[in-house]
Amino acid sequence: MQTAVGVFGGQGYMDGIDAPPLMVGNAGNSIHPAISSLKCPPFIAVELCREHLGVHPCDRRRNIGEYKPLFPSIDFSLAKSDADILWKPDVREKDEELAARGMKFLNWLWTRKEKEIAVVTHSGFLIHTLSAFGNDCHPSVKSEICKPFNNCELRSVVIVDRSMIGSDSPTTNYPGKIPSGPDLPSDAAKEKHPDIGVPK
């Protein structure tokens, strides 16, 4: 949630703003100031798109009640319970189960009215979920889809429901922070645009 808010949140939050912050100052023992929710897209916590479940304590989430005061503008209504009932101390989720959960998440994503959605999650979840795609593409495309993500890496992935081609146009356009720069496969960007990021 800190990553999502840091990338897609508004400017610094100031008292007197008629909207709660996305994240309060110093959340999670950080030294980051509060972040505004103004001019931001909706932020929704979805348990389906979290890391591998089970065994490792670092993959267990806190109670929702602990998150709400830290992230007042994030919608936690989809959580089935306050406590983490999905994480088990003695059973690690299999890769196939994670991939199936990823497909359930994508099915939920299809129900959203937005056409452009940022999914901020863990690398393992993305790799196992995206591995279901690209089987009808060139092997280099399949390889790029399943390539491990770096920490805080941003990638654009377009998933097309072929039955929806030609349907309505996007219904949302948020003026918040949109990462700039080329939208190319990660290892090709520097090769195709060597002048980007070079001081002039």
List the single range of 24-28, 54-58, 103-107 with lowest mean pLDDT: 24-28
C-alpha of 6 from chain center = 12
Location of structure tokens 């990553």: 3
- Average pLDDT score over residue span 175-196: 52
12 by DSSP, 3-state: which?
strand
- Grade residue 115 by pLDDT with cuts at 50, 70 and 90: confident
pLDDT tens per residue across span 127-158: 999 888 878 878 888 888 888 888 888 888 88
Question: Is the pLDDT assigned to residue 37 strictly greater than 50?
Answer: yes
State the pLDDT at residue 174: 47
| Domain spans, the chain | 1-156
At residue 170, the pLDDT reads 47
pTM: 0.74
Mean pLDDT in residue range 66-76: 95
For the stretch 119-149, what's the b/e string if a residue is b when 16 or more beta carbons lie within 10 angstroms of its beta carbon?
Answer: ebbeebbbbbbbbeebeeeeeeebebbebeb
> What mean pLDDT is reported for the chain?
81
* Residues facing 44 on adjacent strands: 75
